[in-house]
Amino acid sequence: MNHTIFAEPLTASAFSQFGDVIEVQKNPTVVINQGNCNRYTDLADVDFIDHGRAGISLFKAVACTLPYTLEYVERHPLGSQAFLPMTQHPFLVIVAEDDHNQPVRPKAFVTRPGQGVNYHRGVWHGVLTPLHEPGLFGVVDRIGNGDNVQEFWFDTPYQVSQPGQ
């Protein structure tokens, strides 16, 4: 099995089976503030079960470098999880398909400035991997009781590279 993953540019269509790309759309939902502000409304499937509610948190993560060694993914069975970068830096987004409760075929994406992501409920994903300091993100995820993390360590780590590396 090939254990090298080439990160590709993040697009809504390539990411759709895993979640939402939170980004400016071709046309605003509505123009507000006397023409001074474009509003793009309701861009993510915010999905919490078992009496969870939406909370706004911050994550501040150490920046990583490519090639990145992917040993671990996790998923949240009780809720979606959105990441909004509070900088204009790109970050690395890693997801995997599920096969009988095991993550398979991991994929990696690199964002453009202005893109956030929302992992759909139950989607396997890597931990937060900014590519630049300060690695600060707004996070919208489920606040509530219950076991909301499932972890998986790959037997053989993957190497995530940019094309050309």
Contacts with its own copies by CB under 8 A lie at: 22-24, 28-29, 32-33, 36-44, 46, 53-62, 82, 84-88, 114, 116, 118, 127-128, 134-136, 138-140, 143
CB of 35 to its own copies, least distance (A): 8
17 touches 25 (CB < 8 A): no
CB of 75 to its own copies, least distance (A): 14
- Return the number of the residue (9 or 114) whose C-beta is nearest its own copies: 114
- Give the whole-angstrom CA distance, residue 97 versus residue 13: 15
93 touches 5 (CB < 8 A): no
DSSP category for residue 48? B
81 touches 140 (CB < 8 A): yes
- Return the number of the residue (14 or 30) whose C-beta is nearest its own copies: 30
- Return the number of the residue (2 or 130) whose C-beta is nearest its own copies: 130
